[in-house]
Amino acid sequence: MIKQHIEEEINNQIQEEFQSAYTYLAMSAWFEDKNLSGFASWLKAQWQEEIEHAMKFYNHLIQRDGRPILQDIKKPKVQFDSPRKAFELALEQEQHITKCIHKMYKLARDEDDYPLESLLLWFIDEQVEEEEMVKDIIDKLNLVGEDGSGLYMLDRDMGERQAQNGKGTE
């Protein structure tokens, strides 16, 4: 049986992951409105990935006789000053998730919760990848600028990432 305070932390992380997903979906809609469908597609794939992350925690609770308790999700920011500003927010979001994962990992270690610790090792590696990906996009936006042919080409490249069903979850 999972300890109550660990169950609460996992439920909090489920909310964080769903909040991230909701943020990415809002960003995708903003990019669609700007006719930047490649960025929108990339963000839809990211939305789906965040849902999968939440479900990893959800399933972990179920497997350990815990009870997932879904929490409120706040309305995300829906307007951005520029593509770069949107991805700067994405980076902040990923850095926040990294801090949450690290905090939970410390708790798992302190409480000798080996199953949770094992799960979180995957998330620790995943967060390194997530932050690196978003930083790379910001670097590219800084390089090409935020209008004209450079942005067009970057948008095209971003569209190459598809959600797992291959259709951008459309």
What pLDDT, in 10s, does the model give residues 1-52?
Answer: 899 999 999 999 999 999 999 999 999 999 999 999 999 999 999 999 999 9
By C-alpha distance, which of 54, 29, 55, 53 is closest to 41? 29
| CATH code of 98's domain | 1.20.1260.10
Taking all residues of the chain, what is their mean pLDDT, rounded to a whole number? 94
List the one residue out of 48, 134, 53, 38 whose CA is nearest residue 86.
Answer: 134
Give the tens place of pLDDT for each residue, 119-145. Answer: 999 999 999 999 999 999 999 999 998
- Residue 62 within any structural domain of the chain: yes
Binding site per annotation, positions for Fe cation: 17, 50, 53, 94, 127
Q: How far apart are CA 125 and CA 27, in angstroms?
A: 24
How many independent structural domains does the chain possess? 1
Residue 56 in any domain: the answer is yes
What mean pLDDT is predicted for residues 77-98? 96
Known binding-site positions: 17, 50, 53, 94, 127
Does residue 168 belong to any structural domain of this protein? Answer: no
